[in-house]
């Protein structure tokens, strides 16, 4: 049994539940202190040294990849439509003047820039906003909405034009999109037991789906248990395998070309 005590950050969006639930059950045995925050906050805390490892937006990892190591085998990715990272608009994109951007995930904001900057009106103003879809849409022509709040947008606002950013990325590149990865500070040496446990999280999460789909969090999202199961098994992928890694490197290149990254740092695993 490991004796190393580490602080790990993870978000609690619905897409992370198959990873979070097994972690919560085994955290004490693994000597892990779990810190649950939104993705952007986790990136700040990891960079400040307040966490030893954390699931952070992939853009935040790529910005500082020379200062981190990547945990092998685990990520949050999609291959085609995902349903939880959306651009919604009341107007044709070339007429949009104001666009509210959910302030919790910088990866989605970077992806929005890559995909839509040339399609949006050149005078469109983008501003970070709290994740309240009704307020975002009442005060702006368009909004980028992520996470659990995205599931009911089309049902509640049938008049909106909806763009699934993961699907748009797949149409453009034919590649997977990696939304989040587990980054480790370079001075941290995770025990082999922990590394193997984290690599096994996707399989453990799949085995716990019957429990996950009836969680209160699912009811709050508006998804049915069947809809949640479909989302977690068909829309979200958790293994950082060759296809996902290729998508991550392609995203790195796209971010560099659009000047969202200053460097294309090599990816190194812990």
pLDDT of residue 222: 87
Quick check: 155 pLDDT over 60? Answer: yes
- 161 close to 181: Cβ distance less than 8 angstroms: no
269 CB-contact burial (10 Å; exposed 0-12 / middle 13-18 / buried 19+): exposed
d(CA 240, CA 72): 7
Please, are residues 9 and 55 in contact by the beta-carbon 8 Å criterion? yes
CA–CA separation, 121 vs 98, rounded Å? 10
Q: What is the largest CA-CA distance in the chain?
A: 59
Q: Are strands 69-78 and 53-57 parallel, antiparallel or unpaired?
A: unpaired
Contact (Cβ atoms closer than 8 angstroms) between residue 145 and residue 118 = no
Percent of the chain with pLDDT over 90: 83
pLDDT in tens, 204-246: 999 999 999 999 989 888 899 999 999 999 999 999 999 999 9
Looking at domain 6-77+177-257, its CATH class is: alpha beta
What is the sign of the dihedral through the CA atoms of 255, 247, 152 and 118? positive
Q: Which CATH number fits domain 85-173: 3.40.50.300, 3.50.30.30, 3.40.190.10, 3.40.309.10?
A: 3.40.190.10
pTM for the model stands at: 0.93
DSSP string, 121-168: -TT-EEEEE-S-HHHHHHHSSEEEEEGGGGTTHHHH-TTSEEEEHHHH
Q: 27: how many CB neighbours lie within 10 A of its CB? A: 13
CA dihedral 222, 228, 231, 236 (to 10 degrees): 110
- Beta sheet of 125-129, edge-to-edge order: 125-129, 98-102, 142-146, 85-89, 161-164
* Residue 3, pLDDT score: 57
Per-residue pLDDT at 196: 96
Name the band, by pLDDT with cuts 50, 70 and 90, for residue 2.
very low
CA distance 261 to 91: 30
pLDDT at 53: 98
CA distance 201 to 181: 13
Of 125 and 36, more confident: 36
- With a CB cutoff of 8 Å and minimum separation 6, the contacts of 70 are 61, 181, 182, 183, 184, 240, 267, 268, 269, 270
Q: In the chain, where does the domain assigned CATH 3.40.190.10 lie?
A: 6-77+177-257, 85-173
Inter-CA distances, 229 with 174, 178, 211, 237, Å: 25, 20, 11, 12
State the Cα torsion 63-67-70-75 to the nearest 10°.
-30
For 186, phi then psi, to 5°, come to -65, -25
Cα–Cα distance, 167 to 147 (Å, whole number):
15
């Amino acid at each position: 049994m490991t004796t190393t005590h580490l602080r790990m950050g993870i978000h609690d969006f619905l897409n992370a539940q198959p990873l979070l639930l097994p972690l919560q059950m085994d955290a004490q045995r693994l000597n892990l202190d779990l810190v649950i925050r939104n993705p952007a906050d986790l990136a700040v805390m990891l960079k400040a040294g307040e966490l030893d490892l954390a699931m952070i937006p992939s853009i935040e990892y790529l910005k500082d990849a020379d200062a981190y190591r990547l945990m092998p085998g685990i990520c949050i990715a999609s291959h085609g439509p995902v349903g939880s990272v959306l651009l919604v608009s009341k107007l044709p994109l070339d007429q949009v003047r104001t666009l509210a951007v959910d302030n919790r995930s910088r990866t989605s904001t970077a992806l929005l820039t890559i995909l839509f900057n040339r399609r949006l009106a050149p005078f469109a103003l983008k501003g970070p906003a709290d994740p309240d879809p009704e307020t975002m849409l009442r005060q702006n022509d368009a909004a980028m909405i992520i996470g659990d709040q995205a599931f009911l947008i089309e049902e509640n606002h049938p008049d909106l034009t909806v763009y699934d950013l993961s699907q748009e990325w797949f149409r453009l590149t034919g590649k997977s999109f990696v939304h989040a990865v587990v980054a480790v500070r370079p001075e941290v040496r995770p025990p082999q037991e922990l590394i193997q446990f984290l690599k096994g999280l996707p399989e453990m999460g799949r085995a716990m789906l019957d429990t996950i789909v009836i969680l209160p969090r699912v009811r709050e999202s508006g998804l049915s248990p069947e809809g949640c199961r479909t989302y977690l098994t068909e829309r979200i992928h958790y293994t950082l395998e060759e296809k996902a890694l290729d998508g991550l490197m392609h995203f790195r290149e796209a971010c560099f070309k659009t000047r969202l990254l200053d460097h294309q740092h090599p990816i190194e695993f812990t």
